[in-house]
Structure formats: C-alpha cells, structure tokens
Chains A and B, each alone.
Chain A
Amino acid sequence: MANLNIDSVKARTFDAIVIGSGISGGWAAKELTGNGLKTLVLERGRDVKHVKDYPTTNKFPWEFEHHGQLPVSVTEPNPIVSRCYAFGEDSAHFFVKDNEHPYVQTKPFDWIRGYQVGGKSLLWARQTQRWSDFDFEGPARDGFAVDWPIRYKDIAPWYSYVEKFAGIAGNKDGIPELPDGEFLPGYPLNDVEVYFGDHLKKNYKNRHVISARCAHLSKPNDIHLQQGRTQCQNRDLCQRGCPFGGYFSSNASTIPWAEKSGNMTLRPFSVVESIIYDEKLGKATGVRIIDTNTKQSIEYYARIIFVNAAAINTNLVLLNSKSNRFPNGFGNDSGVLGKYVAFHNYSAHIGAEYDGLKEWTVDGRSPTGGYIPRFRNVYKQETNFLRGYACGFSGYRYQQHKYDGVGSSLKDGLVKGDLSPWYVGSHMMGETIPKESNHVSLDAKLKDDWGVPLLNISVDYDDNDEKMKKDYIEQLTEMFTSAGFKNIQPSTNHQAPGLDIHEMGGARMGKDPKTSILNEWNQVHACKNVFVTDGACMTSTSCQNPSLTYMALTARAANHAVEEMKKGNV
C-alpha cells in the first residue's frame, strides 16, 4: 500500500475490528469494548442514531404522502425488496434497493438487506426462541451436514447473558425442546390462543401453544433503563425504529453501550473488500475497506477480527479474501466455504374461524403472538422427512365494516360495525437441510460499485421441504378441525428462499477442519484471530428464529477472544 506513514498506520491500528454493526456485530462491539479493547466497527452503510434517525417513527398515517403505500417508482424497479412484508412507505429508507447492490440469482433468491448502522436489527420480527440439544444434536443424529462442535450446555450461560441485557419477554413454559430463559414478563395469550393450547394439551403429546418469546421490554429492568430504553408501548410500528427503545436493536442497545465505553470507533460508509492475511505471521493483520463516498481503499489493522457482515455478505468477504495461503477464500482449506447455505421454509400458511368465545376479545396491541414449538421428529424420527417446523399461531377479531354503496350509508358503514368472530392464523417455520449444492460463489466477471465481485446465489428448496410443507398443512388442518375451527383455509406459496430473511451457513462451525470453516469458538480453523459469529457460522438451521443464537454465540466468542488475547494465544 502507498500509505507507509508510521503515524497514519498507528491511527489505523486497533485492538479489534468488527465488520458489521447489525444484531451480531453490535454484540461483538459491546463485548470487546466492554473488555477494554479499542475496537473499530466498520459499517458499509450510513449511520443511524437511535431516535434521531427514525424520521417516520411518530408519523400518523395521513402524514405520509401516500398514507403508507409505496409508489410504483419504488416498487417497480425493486421487485425483490418489495416482496418483504416490512417494506413500506414508513420503513423503505432502512432497506437496500435492488439496484443499490445487485447480485446474480443463479436460482431465485430474495436477498433482503439493511445497509446502515444497526443493519436489519431495526427491522427484524424480534422473535427470540432458544435452541436445545434436540437442535444441536440434529445433524449428528439424522446424518446430515456435520456435527455441531457445541452443545446446549456450552451456549446456555450465554443465552442467559444476552437475554438479560437485550430484554426478552416470555414465560417459563418448561418445554425441554424450547428451553426457558431469563425472561421479563411474557405477553399473555388471548382467549382463542389459550383455547387452542388447551385443546392440544388434551389431545396430543408434546404439542404446545406458548407466548412467543420476543425481544421487547414488557417490564424493563435497571440494565435496560441504563441503556436509555423504556417499556414497550405496544405500538406495533417497530419497523420504523422505536423511540422508546421498546425492542432490542443494535441502535438502541449495544452500539450506544459500546460508544459509552469510550473504546469504540464507528466508521460508516466502509465496505470491507477483504481480510488481510500475513503469511509470515500466519495470521490476519487487518482488513481492506473501500470508503463508499471517496472510493478510496484504506487498510485498518488489529489483533483480532470479528466478521459480522450478515450471513451472505460474510461469505462474500471471506470468499474475496484471497492470498497465497488461501487461494480459494479465507480459511477455505476444506473447500466448503460458501456451501451448505440453508434457510427457513416459510411457504405455508393456514387460516380459519372459531365460533366460540364470542364474549371475549382483546384491547390494545401485542408485539408478539403464539408459538407452537417443533413437535415433529423431536424425540425420534417419525415421518418420511427429516427434522420439523415450528408454527406461528395467533387469534384475532376485528370490527367488520360495510363498504357497499355510496353516500351517507357508506360513511356510516365505515365508522360502525360489529365485531367479527375469532379468526386464527398460523404460518410454517421449517428447518431446511444444508446441502453442498446450495451455495454462493464469486462471479467471475461482474463487480459492484466498489470493485468487489458480485455473488452468485444458488439456493433452492428440495424434496424434504416439500414433504415437510405437506405435513404442516395436514397436521395443522387436523389440529384445527379437531379444535372445532371452521372454514379452514390452507395456502401455500412459492416464495423464493431468502424472503424468510433467515439465510444461514456457508462458513459453518464443525469439529473437523477438513469439513468446516470454524471451530467451536467461531474461530477460523486455519487462522485463529478471525472470528465469524453471524448467520454464516450456522451448521444447521433448526426452526427457531436465529438472531438470539447469533447474539449468544457472538458474546461467547468475543469473551473467548479476550481470554485468548490475554493468554497470548491470538
């Protein structure tokens, strides 16, 4: 590099570098700075300061130009992001537009991204269920992917650690396959949700409706108030950013906490081009970034590097970090980098009506709903497909208006209306099996605006997914029917992988460096001062929403990194 000025090198040298400021990068930043490490946090997008940079957060519907609708000038050039449920006139500024960072869809893949400080932690659905050993032991028991190098006991204390700080609402349900955690009071289930839960308890072994655990401050503790956050106000406008800090995001929680330590340097507008590997030292010495405003290439140095660019982009950074030592991508001695990418199957839904409990309803709003933990193939293999699915389950009523005709009768119909019967709805959250053929790779020719190769994404459903989807519809139809629900309407869609926004893998953890990229501490097997703790590290996907596990793995790895630094091992 041209810049050999010693002072300049010093100014660009830190104890640690964190690539990415989303849900896992924020945790890496908090843990490393909290342990006294001078930490550079690199973010490819702009800064988003808590509250100050939530421009729509307190707007009423009529204060939006199109009352919340997106104009064709936004939706037509951006078909991918427009398919995301949270993409609206109130939240569009937090999403990457299709043409801002193109990729090659070898097979259809809806890659939903948030390039800003906080990443997608501003936009997530805030569901936080723990994994159990039924999940960590899955690949070994069922013979797919590779064995996880960790078990529940390894991560359990770290689940507790992150739950206490993030603030997770939930009930102690005592279900072995969905372990209890450190909960704030859970949001209660409504009457029809309770009714269905009782029905399952009476008629099935091992099927439960619980209040879905979620990262909302139902009753903040002192640690949350110290973060400047306060109780969730049940606005249900989370995708705008929450002025109360009612839900967990990097912006509301970990990033300002890291900032407060005085040890964090946050550098937005910094696309990481590659990780720098020093052949003589046998370790990574820093990263090379492109400043997105000046297009200047700059190197930063540190003793340890955390890669938290979000699953697919972490694969991109690693694949693009080539050296004599790693000609096929960083740490890729095994050749599995970019492979065994998996996701969650969200392509089935079922709705129905219930004629009972007419005298009860709800008042106010809940930030979460009901959740049916996985009940298929938990204790033993019992179906013609591997693994299983969790189900969202919610009941609701609404005021039925009349839209007929014109004039004063119509005006009346828009104001008045009787309450509907209870409606219930469920969606499938299916585990998918990581396969070598589901992979991402660098395009040989095409590059992005920063000179980084575009990614080819080749990820698809398989026969196991189809069988599981069929089973979901069959089982839920049967459960709904026996519960006395009427007008049962199952539906399936063909949404592309990616729209679940649970893409995982590509740099999986494993015991054997010959078949995995990362060890049990999320360290690159072949370069121990590089840690990957976002979705890219996932060996299998289970069916729980993954963010809580990323947080716990990150906190665990960061504290291990600090110990190893103290011992002089990295």
Chain B
Amino acid sequence: MEKIINDFSIGLFFWQVVLFIALLLLLRKYAWNPILNAVNDREEGIKNALLEADKARQEMENLKSDNEKILKEARIERDTMLKEAREIKNNMITEAKDQAKDQANKIIEQAKVSIQNEKISAIADMKRQVANLSINIAEKVVKEQLSDEAKQLKLVENLLKDVKLS
C-alpha cells in the first residue's frame, strides 16, 4: 500500500487530466458533435424518407382504390343504362303492340257496326222489295181474278162471309 502511494506519479496524473480534458474538448468540437449530428441527420433523413415512401404508397393505394371505385361505378352505371334501355325498348314494343291491337279492335268493331248497318239496311231493302214484289204479284193476281164480274162478286161474297157483323 505504501509502495503504491510512493509510486503514484503526480506528474502523470496532472498530464493525464490536462491532456484528457484537452482531447475531450477538441474532439467534442471537431469530431463528436459533427459525427453525432451527421448520424442524427442521416437517421432523421432515413426516417423521413421511409415515412414519405409509406405515405406515397398509401396515396398510390388510395388512388388505385379510387380508380377501382370509379371503374366499378362506371360499370354499374353502364349496366343500369343498358337495363333502362332494354326496359324502354320492351315498353315501347308492348305499347306499340297494345296500340296496334286497340287500333285493330277498333277497326274490327267499326267494321262489325257497319256490316250490321249494311245488313239491316239490306234486310230492310229486301223487305221493301219483297213487299213491293208481293204487292205487284197480289195486284196482278187480283187484277187477274177480278177481270170478270162473276169472280168479283164471288170475292165480295167470300169477304162478306168472313165478315161477321158486330
């Protein structure tokens, strides 16, 4: 112990303290601070770059999903438009058909009515002609039958026989 104290060199202690502090101050100014700052900056840079890359990727993904959404919407719209067109077409066809049918029915109806009228008038005409014909025939028959006196009298007699005095 005494030997250790005896061998302790104050001069070396002094130089070690002085040189070490000098080295510390010099290195702090010219080495450690620049190195640590550079490393810090680099780390920050890497972190920021990674963050930005992440953001960009997120944006890309958003864009992609947006695109997909738009595409999907467009597809849906196209589908609905097609469907609507088809419906309109069908409606138009049915409407046209209905209208045509109505028209046809109306025409048929009118035709029936006019046919009926024609028939009635024809029948009436026929009746008039038959009546005329009958009258003419009857006239001729009567004229024939009543061409002599004897027959006129007989007729009167027969008519009178039918007539009952009331």
Do A and B share a complex?
A: no
Interface residues of B (CB under 8 A from A): none
